Structure 1
C-alpha cells in the first residue's frame, strides 16, 4: 500500500510537471509567433487592430496574471517531483505541491462563475431600470441615455460598456444595434432574448412595456432556476475538495510504516520484532 501510494504521487507529480511545463512552453512559443506576425503587419492595420482590442470589454477576472500563476504552479509541480525523487522524507511536502499546482485553474473557474452571476444580476437591474424609464413616456434611446447618466459612479464592466455604446453605437445607429453589441460583448443569452423582444416590439408585434415585462420575468425565472440547480449540485462539487483535504492525512498514516522501515534500514539498527 505504501509503495503504491509513493508511485501514485510520483506519477501525479510527473503529470502535473509535464502539463504545466508544456502549457508554459506553448504559451511562450505562441507569444513569439504573435510578435513576429505583428511586426510583419502594416502599421495602419496594426493601429486598427489595437483600437478594436481596446474597445472590447475588459473582464476583471481575465485581467489577473493567470499566466504567471500557472507558471508558478508548474514550478511547484517540478519541485514536488524532485522531492519525491530525492527521497520519501519529502513525500508529505510533495502532496501539498501537487494540490497547489491546480489551485490557479480552480480559483479562476470559481471567479468566472461568480462573474457570470453578477452579470446576470446587472442585466436584470438594467431591464428593470429600462422599464422604469420607459414608464415616463420617453423613447428607448432616451431611456438608455438616462440609464447611462444615472450610473455615473458605478465602475463595473457592464455599466462601462453601456456608457461606451450609448456614446458610440446609440448616437450613430439605433437602440437595436446597441443591445446587439452588448449581447455580443458579454455573450449573454439574457441580452439576446431582450434584443429579440425589443425588435418584435419595434416592429409592432407587441408594446415595449410588454416586451420588457416578459424579458424581466424570463431573467428572474432563469436566475431562480440556476440558483436552485447550484444548490442541488453543491454536495457533488464539495466531494473533490473534501477528498483533497483528507488525502494528506490518509497518505501520512499510510506512509509512516514505510518511512520507519527505511530510516531503520539506513541507520543499520535492526527493527524490533
Structure 2
C-alpha cells in the first residue's frame, strides 16, 4: 500500500509562504498556499534582498531573474541632513558572499514567487481568510476560512505576517502588534530623477534631526525605477488619517518635514506620485513559534520594526 504524501497548509502568500511551499514540494510534501487577499499585481513599495536571501532564491532558480528585474545594490551610504557623508556599509557583497544585495519592487518579487509556485505544482488559493485551526490528535489538521470552506492537512505553517491569524492559534493570549510611534511614507519615482547624479547603484540614506530618508535604484523601469522612503515620528497621527488626505496634502507634509534636506530629496518628493503611507508596527518576542502541528515563520514569528527603513 502506497502512503499518500504529507500535506502542508501554508497560510499567507507573501514572501515566506511561496518559498516554503516550493521547498516542501521539492521534499515530496504536498503544499497548499492560502492567501487572505484577492490576487493582485503592482502592490507594495520597494525592498532589498540581502545576499543570504538571494542564496535561498538561487536555490529555486530565481536569482538571475530577480537581478534582471531589480537593481544590484553596491553599498549603503549614509549622509547627514545637510549632505555630509557619514560612512558606507555593505560593500562588495557579491564578492564577499557569492550573491549581491538586490533592490526591487515588492510587487515584482511577490508576482515572481507566485508564478514560480504555480509552476512548481503548488496549489494557490486567494481570498481565503483564516478564522480557526482545529488540531485533534491523530486526525488531520483542519483550517477554517471566512468564506465557509475548510482545508485538511498534516500540518500548518503560518506565514501570514505581522497581523498573523495563525499566531493567535499558536499563542491565544500572546503578543499582538503595537505601534512603534513611527510612520512611513514611500513609493517610486522615474530613474531620471537621480540618474544624472553620481549615485550609481548605491543606496543613499539620510539621518535627519528627527527623521530619515532613503532612496536607490530598484528596477530597469524608466518610469518607476527608483524606490524612496521617509520614516518619521507619527506625532499621534495614524497612517489611515494621512491616507484620508489628498496626495497633494501628503506631498506638502513631506515638503515641510524635509525642508532644507540635501539634494535630491526635494526633487524626489516633487516627482513622487501614488505616495503610500503605512504605520510601523512591531510584535514582542514570542515565547514559542509552534503549537502541536502548527508552526510560525517570517514576520508571523519574528516581526521586527525597522529602525529607519
User: Structure 2 length as normaliser, TM-score?
Assistant: 0.22
Larger C-alpha radius of gyration, 1 or 2?
1
Indicate the structure with greater strand content: 2
